[in-house]
Structure 1
Amino acid sequence: MSPDATPDPYADPLVFGQRMQLLRTRRGLTRDQLGGLVARSGSWVKAVETGRLKTPPLPMILRIAEVLRVRDLSELTGDQSLRISLFAGPGHPRFAAVREALNAFPLTAAHEAPPAAHLQARITRAWSARHSAPNHREVIGTLLPGLIRDAQAAVRHASTIADRKGAQALLAEVYFLAQFFCAYQPDAALVWRVAERGMMAAQDSEDPHAVGLAAWLTTQAHRDSAHYEAADAVTLETLGYLRPLLPDAGDDVRAVAGALTVEAGLTAARRGETGTAWRYWDDARRLAEGLPDGYFHPVTSFSQAVLGAHAVTVAVELHSGGESVRQAVRAEAEAIPSRPRRARHRIEQARAYHLDGQPDAALATLAHAHEAAPETVQYNGYAKRIVLEEAEAKSPARRRRASQLAQRLGMLTA
């Protein structure tokens, strides 16, 4: 083949370093940034990418995959025998029905809309079920197709401007519920479609609570895609819209402002901006302290009880091992009334212990997370990364514990 010819990707498959460089570039990270996030130097990243260093061992591959948000490990390694889904689950049994309902495009008014009060009561029960059920995806996946159909019908049947705005707020809330369900499912494009529909319905409703929730979820989608500037733009614009309303706002709107403030801090932490991240966390803490005792937002989980969990995540995203553990010890998971949110907090605690070089504590904490909400752990890429890494540990006892946990999570059959 001529040296000027385009390389054949099948005859000359990309090696690990080339794949890492392409994925890093796609995420908009410099070599120094990637190196810092995996506790290496920019020159080390360059050496791997140019082939001067050989492919790193599995624990480092998993750390790189986490930073680059690689959904399937074979994307990074090129080894089709390593088709391990990290940040995408195997696909929930209810996912096909939910996707079908979301992809439907009903234009006629043949389907009768339920009364708004009835629809609101069903949505409220759905959020309650999500927080209380250990198999929350199964419960929500059963409810969503009917809720999507009826909420869309409510908008079509609205006879006045006020009724239509109210129906749009309900539809937005159904889309928010759907976005929770669709996260980590094997269709990333669907998550974005749902997020955009939720934002459009919220804007049409002109309801500050709905607008804030749409921004909260959209910010997370941007950050998980490493679109940090876009995440900041949505968060800060929406906070600017909400702040003048807060003195006269109800608890739910003030809680959404608090949740958005946390998101601003988490985005700063993901970028390594320590002072900014903790400043936003302090702002969120003050907002939480202004809420009634025992208050818990049904969508964002924002509350005084969850602020400690957010502190753990800030420290972990800043890759501060000692501070992560200090926050993990301080934050009490049992105070969080939501099963999936409690399990997510346990996962963040496990990340803290793992970052601090305490793998046995990390595995034990993941086991507690599984007890709280198995489906939360099953679809979480950070949990999978820890389990996979410890399955390669030198300690036979730790390998056995990690393998047993992998079996409980369904990773051996996914």
Structure 2
Amino acid sequence: MDENDARENGRRLRYWRLRRNLNRKQFAALMDRSVSWVDMVETGRRNLVRLPTIERAAEILGIHPDVLTNRVVATRTEQSVDGQEVLAVRAALGRYPVLPQADGPPVDLRKVHRQAEYLEQAWVSAHFTSVAQRLPALLRDAQEVDRNAVGADQLAARRALITAYRLASSLLLKFDANEVAWLAADRAMHSALATDDAWSLARAARSAARAMTSSGQQTEAVDCLLETTDRVRPELPGHEETLLSLYGMLYLAASMTAAEQENAALAREMHDEATVVAERMQPGFCAHQTYFGPANVQIHRVAALRRLHESGRAIEFAATINPAAVARLSPERRANFLLDLTDAHTRTGDFRKATQLLEQAERIAPQEVRGRPLGRGLLEALLRNSTGESARLVNQMASRAGVTP
């Protein structure tokens, strides 16, 4: 192993140690080594070459040994949320903070809010591994501040807790851990119902509806969303700058749910309602990381048409959307738009265009394509059907994602 390999293997070891939230001293103790040994390995001054040592490190970190020594495997795995992280989120959701923390200083509400804002930004930037790594701690801290908050801090603490539950539900749904996602969404909804706050209810209802949709309860999901619009609507006068985007997103969620139900008329009606709301959005209104506005409404229409199995119409509608407006959306939203179009072109047999779109999505948000089941499924479909230059590009993307024909 040369010096470059030693540095790379050391970098990978440090990456996974930090991703598992272990400091050098903790990891050294688990390895039965010194802290200086860990430091030398991570900086490339000592080679990580002996197989038993590599296997022991991988076991502690919950990864395959190749993740530490193989460049292709390492790159692929670093950009995916793994099973250990899902289990950590599940464990955090299984905690009921009835008693105060046994030791340590009280959890600071401002710190919890900063962390929640950071993870929301990581989410819209499609940095899902960052969310998965830090989410269990946010869930624990948010539960703690919500339990202890008094007076004016109570609403802020409850909103932070709902944000943490929503992130958990969204992450788990994206990576097909639907049962646990339902638990997180249900926690968000119950927390919102316990406080008279339209902001909280609008945020939680979307998570609950997505979780219900994933379990086949589309009718109940639409009912939940529309009941929430009835609850939020009376508070819009005088509060449009803070509530309008959340109100509009409820209609978009209802449109998507109706499409999943193959109810084209209701999906169109809900899309039209969202369009009307989007036209009321003004510069300076709070979007709450939703990126709600005309462009987001339009790309949701493409997503709905795809779910209605109207791929041709989805492609035609997408051609009417201003590319500059789409470019101003978050990486997560733009990548999902491209994944919807990739699927539509795949279903219409235009595999060359589908490959180009998937390559664009990978550039914008690698973790959407390489780690998410939807992206990997599209790669598998294109591997079976592409030829020529398109096949070469698909094979390169598949190799980066670890997808085989």
TM-score normalised by L of structure 2: 0.72
Secondary structure of the residue that 1:300 maps to in structure 2?
A: coil
1:395 is matched with which residue? Answer: 387
User: Structure 1 residues 151 and 261 mapped into 2: Cα distance closer, same or farther (>3 Å)?
Assistant: same
Does the CA contact (< 8 Å) of 2:242 and 2:285 recur in 1? Answer: no
2:331 is matched with which residue? Answer: 339
Task: Within 5 Å, give how 1:102-117 maps onto structure 2.
Answer: 102-110=93-101, 112-117=105-110
User: Structure 1 residues 251 and 141 mapped into 2: Cα distance closer, same or farther (>3 Å)?
Assistant: same
2:172 is matched with which residue? Answer: 182
- Report Cα offsets for 1:162-218 as digits up to 9, x if no partner: 533432222111111222222244643211111111111112232211111111111
Does the CA contact (< 8 Å) of 1:242 and 1:257 recur in 2? Answer: yes
- Report Cα offsets for 1:9-60 as digits up to 9, x if no partner: xxxxxxxxxxxxxxxxxxxxxxxxxxxxxxxxxxxxxxxxxxxxxxxxxxxx
1:208 is matched with which residue? Answer: 198
**Letter paired with 1:387:** L
How far, CA to CA, are the matches of 1:266 and 1:239 in structure 2? 16
Task: Within 5 Å, give how 1:235-274 maps onto structure 2.
Answer: 235-274=225-264
The farther-off stretch of 141-150 and 90-99 is 90-99
Q: Does 1:194 align with 2:177?
A: no
Alpha carbon RMSD of aligned pairs, Å?
2.5
How far, CA to CA, are the matches of 2:374 and 2:174 in structure 1? 12
How far, CA to CA, are the matches of 2:106 and 2:357 in structure 1? 45
Secondary structure of the residue that 2:107 maps to in structure 1?
A: coil
Does the CA contact (< 8 Å) of 2:81 and 2:128 recur in 1? Answer: no
2:211 is matched with which residue? Answer: 221
**Letter paired with 2:94:** N
1:52 is matched with which residue? Answer: none
2:120 is matched with which residue? Answer: 127
Does the CA contact (< 8 Å) of 2:159 and 2:200 recur in 1? Answer: yes
Secondary structure of the residue that 1:391 maps to in structure 2?
A: helix
- 1:296, CA displacement in angstroms? 6.6
User: Structure 1 residues 295 and 376 mapped into 2: Cα distance closer, same or farther (>3 Å)?
Assistant: farther
How far, CA to CA, are the matches of 2:113 and 2:141 in structure 1? 11
2:265 is matched with which residue? Answer: 275
Does the CA contact (< 8 Å) of 1:296 and 1:302 recur in 2? Answer: no
- Report Cα offsets for 1:267-293 as digits up to 9, x if no partner: 222333333322221210111121123
User: Structure 1 residues 144 and 321 mapped into 2: Cα distance closer, same or farther (>3 Å)?
Assistant: closer
More helix by share: 2
Secondary structure of the residue that 1:350 maps to in structure 2?
A: helix
2:319 is matched with which residue? Answer: 329
Match of 1:157 among 136, 148, 157: 148
User: Structure 1 residues 247 and 308 mapped into 2: Cα distance closer, same or farther (>3 Å)?
Assistant: same
User: Structure 1 residues 277 and 175 mapped into 2: Cα distance closer, same or farther (>3 Å)?
Assistant: same
- 1:379, CA displacement in angstroms? 4.1
Match of 2:367 among 357, 375, 391: 375
Higher relative contact order (CA 8 A, sep 6+): 1
The farther-off stretch of 147-156 and 328-337 is 328-337
How far, CA to CA, are the matches of 2:140 and 2:366 in structure 1? 28
- 1:116, CA displacement in angstroms? 2.9
- Report Cα offsets for 1:270-325 as digits up to 9, x if no partner: 33333332222121011112112375723433223312211211221222232211
Secondary structure of the residue that 2:343 maps to in structure 1?
A: helix
How far, CA to CA, are the matches of 2:380 and 2:190 in structure 1? 39
Secondary structure of the residue that 2:381 maps to in structure 1?
A: helix
